[in-house]
Chain A
């Protein structure tokens, strides 16, 4: 359960986020769309306590994210390359994150097997540092690592960008399969309206930091398309 109350971020008199109230319930699949500069990434960063709100709070499982570390076990996230460690090989990175979550070797192996469908033999066991991987492979490593520890909430920024078509389709399947397996809340931002409406049952549209549409149901895609055409 994520609650946002009176959240505001102002940079030099420009309001980039202004959300009165927004709550995301457990097991919800939440999509965030909006043009460049709408404030998607800033919102995610504030939810992860990476950017300090000018006003307001973000509450995860009843606790303010600011000043606590407990939510970190329950939230897996991948926003950009700042979430990866360039001088480790992918396997070392997974092992490192796994250890933070108390993974055993067997847990790690099961995890790697699950993601092999998108890794495609290019990541697991490769003797190459993350810093030397291609953009697409970087993304795969980051997305996979956000699943380590089976967190209740998984937050991904543009997960489909830079992925090849096969991986895009498989990632979609993987995300959906995970929801059938266990309780998980997704927060996904994307510019790809088809993908995001397919995965998410709730879409929030941001414009200049404000929530201007909160959509559910089958009509979502059409409504989004008409907005973005405008």
Chain B
């Protein structure tokens, strides 16, 4: 029976209408997995050297143990974003004489074959055999390694349980992440040391057996829990229908004040509903929120960024334009499923383009305001952000909208996977380049000839000029969409 399931999965892949796309995706995923494995392996062999040489810790085992709890928190969050609830198209099997329990076991066991489940093994095996075994003997080292592996596998089923039971509750993961973030901060400022707890739990001595046994119990318990939840939810409607009718998000998406803007307001408010009610655009929104923190990595370097303001243009483009880049690359695909509606209803193409312009511009303004605290690292950063925001509003938005018209593809909004490459075509791969490079076209000549300040000023002025010429640029964009609309509409009608 298991063989049949596997062979069906294989046939489904081989005979898929979108085989080329699936294959590309498969190869991409395999490469990504190989890369992860290679990194983990390299990191595994380098771990001891890294701790003793780079971090200058005398006791590498103690140092690693102190960080292990944090590592698992990190792994949990990573798993949350990258791991999916296992799914098989169960509908065709439910009415046949196949035991439900068998299907559930199959789904759960298959899910276990995941690249994440090998990471801990790769990362810590070299360390366990060289350092830990050398210090406390092979038996304890094996116990130590075993505990880590089993805890990682516990996380595997914990994530599945969490995702299946609390579908879409991203607040949970944010609360979880920030709780541990503050614990980390408390650790750093030495108020409460979670790292000490971690060091005690993972001490490679006789107590490690308790950890191992607890891990095993948890592992079987969570497997059982998932199993029960799978068996009881193996109904066709459970897998397809329930997903999108979550009105929890719907409640927050009706923004009445937008009505004041007339037809634009209507379309903007429609697009806000689209973003908040569908998982994939929502993920993009959260991702853009996280990208606001991008500056912490670059600005928090003791003033180096001040010395090379050219690089901060790049960072600033990401910070203020993250949402425009992420969401805008599929600008027309999002509404591809009702493009015919858009074209036949009493709204002009110009209004349609303009509503998108204002929506994207508003997100950039919001990102700019939210990034104001970066003034802490120097007020010049704010000037760069301002110049880039203007540039994004005046130039980049139009670049984005025009490239997005290049062969957009239809998106199934219900599919919310993070590795969902639907709607991504050639245009989307090259799109980020002109947007990231465009500011430099105006910055570099002035910064070489005069100074970097004048370069920034030039970028801001060009942006402002574009913003002032907005009606004209919107007209151009509108004309282009009008010419291409038949082609785009035909593309969206293809499944």
Contact = CB atoms under 8 A, between A and B. Distances in A.
A50 B337 contact: no
A89 B343 CA distance: 21
A84 B489 contact: no
A75 B345 CA distance: 8
A69 B245 contact: no
Interface stretch (A25-33, A97-105, A178-186, A220-228): A97-105
B-side interface size class = 20 to 34
A87 B348 contact: no
Given A72-B346, A83-B344, A149-B346, A100 B266 contact: yes
Given A50-B486, A50-B489, A72 B413 contact: no
Interface string A67-104: 10100110101011111111111001000110111000
B344 A48 contact: yes
Contacts of B266: 96, 99-100
Interface stretch (A107-115, A124-132, A167-175, A192-200): A124-132
A85 B344 contact: no
B244 A85 contact: no
Nearest to B345: A100
B493 A82 contact: yes
B340 A50 contact: yes
Contact of A83 (B273, B338, B347): B338
Contacts of B270: 85, 88, 96
Interface in B310-345: 337-341, 343-345
Contacts of B341: 82-85
Name which of A49, A81, A88, A131 has the most chain B CB atoms within 10 A of its CB: A131
- State the main secondary structure of chain A at its contact with B: loop
B235 to A, nearest CB: 16
A56 B338 CA distance: 27
A114 B340 CA distance: 26
A86 B338 contact: yes
B167 interface: no
A79 B339 CA distance: 12
Name which of A52, A127, A129 has the most chain B CB atoms within 10 A of its CB: A129
B346 A77 contact: no
Nearest to A75: B344
A221 to B, nearest CB: 31
A79 B340 contact: yes
B490 interface: yes
B343 A48 contact: yes
Name which of B245, B263, B346 has the most chain A CB atoms within 10 A of its CB: B346
B247 interface: yes
B337 to A, nearest CB: 6
Given A85-B270, A92-B273, 10 more contacts: A67-B482, A72-B347, A81-B337, A82-B338, A83-B344, A85-B338, A87-B278, A100-B347, A129-B277, A131-B244
15 contacts: A50-B340, A51-B486, A51-B489, A52-B486, A75-B344, A81-B337, A87-B274, A87-B277, A96-B270, A100-B266, A127-B245, A127-B247, A128-B245, A131-B244, A132-B244
Interface of A: 48-52, 67, 69, 72-73, 75, 77, 79-89, 92, 96-97, 99-101, 127-129, 131-132, 149
